[in-house]
């Protein structure tokens, strides 16, 4: 048995500062918390894999060579003024030291048309990552994938150490959106499309 906390805000649709109430309820659950200090590393990976996210290809031409890094840690909503986004890159990445030299980075949110070749963008053979994937290079050197729902052209704003990764904050300089392409979702080590019948339950639609 676990105790769960539930914000009244989500029930009433109203937020009134300190008046926001918290209700404590008891409910049955199969969850048993495992300490990260003693757990098998696969248990942590499995927990993290339960979090769905979008996936972005960060790419540019640097010294005449294309550099691409696929990142499910990419996220927006960090700051609107100035416009900032971020992602985390593992210290072991061999692409990031090259890509970070770029004056401008292209960020392409993967869409359903990328599903079949998405893993290729993270493949071991870096020279084949863009094989048969339509893309274009901006005058700035930023590389963008065709058929993406969102394009951003960015510059590196800050880099922060975070364990075995670095958090890279990017400033958005230019953007484009195309709602004709639905985004891919990365979940449980697989790609889902929001147009999948199972994922398109109208009862899950938000406001």
Residues in contact with ligand FMN by CB under 6 A are 55, 69-73, 87-90, 93-96, 119, 122, 126, 186
- Quick one: 88 or 137, whose CB is closer to ligand FMN? 88
| 115 touches 145 (CB < 8 A) | no
Between 70 and 144, name the residue whose CB sits nearer to ligand FMN. Answer: 70
Minimum gap (Å) between residue 75 Cβ and ligand FMN: 10
Closer to ligand FMN by CB, 74 or 151: give it.
74
**Closest distance between ligand FMN and the C-beta of residue 137, in Å?**
19
Task: Give the shortest CB-9-to-ligand FMN separation in angstroms.
Answer: 31
Q: Which string of DSSP letters, residue by residue, matches 69-127?
A: EEESS-EEEEEETTEEEEEEEETT-SSHHHHTT-SSEEEEE-BGGGGGGTGGGG-S-GG
Dihedral sign from CA coordinates of 178, 144, 126, 168: negative
Rounded least distance, CB 83 to ligand FMN, Å: 20
Q: How far is the CB of 44 from ligand FMN (least distance, A)?
A: 15
Cα distance between residue 199 and residue 29, in whole Å: 24
Segment 24-31 long-range contacts (CB within 8 Å, at least 24 positions apart): 26/1, 27/1, 27/2, 28/1, 29/1, 29/2, 31/2
- Residues 144/178, Cβ–Cβ less than 8 Å: no
Nearer to ligand FMN, 7 or 51 (CB): 51
**Which is closer to ligand FMN, CB of 72 or CB of 181?**
72
């Amino acid at each position: 048995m676990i105790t769960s906390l539930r914000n009244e805000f989500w029930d009433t649709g109203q937020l009134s500062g300190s008046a926001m109430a918290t209700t404590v309820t008891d409910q049955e659950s199969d969850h048993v918390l495992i300490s990260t200090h003693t757990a098998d590393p696969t248990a942590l990976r499995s927990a993290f894999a339960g979090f769905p996210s979008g996936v972005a290809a960060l790419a540019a031409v640097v010294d005449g060579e294309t550099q691409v890094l696929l990142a499910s840690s990419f996220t927006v909503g960090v700051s609107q003024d100035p416009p900032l986004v971020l992602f985390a890159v593992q210290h072991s990445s061999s692409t990031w030291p090259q890509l970070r030299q770029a004056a401008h980075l292209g960020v392409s949110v993967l869409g359903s048309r990328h599903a079949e070749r998405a893993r290729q963008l993270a493949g071991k053979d870096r020279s084949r990552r863009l094989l048969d994937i339509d893309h274009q290079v901006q005058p700035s050197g930023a590389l963008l994938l065709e058929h993406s729902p969102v394009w951003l052209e960015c510059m590196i704003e800050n880099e922060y150490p975070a364990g075995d990764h670095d958090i890279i904050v990017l400033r958005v300089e230019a953007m484009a959106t195309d709602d004709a392409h639905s985004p891919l979702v990365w979940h449980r080590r697989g790609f889902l499309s929001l147009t999948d019948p199972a994922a398109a339950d109208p009862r899950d639609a938000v406001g």
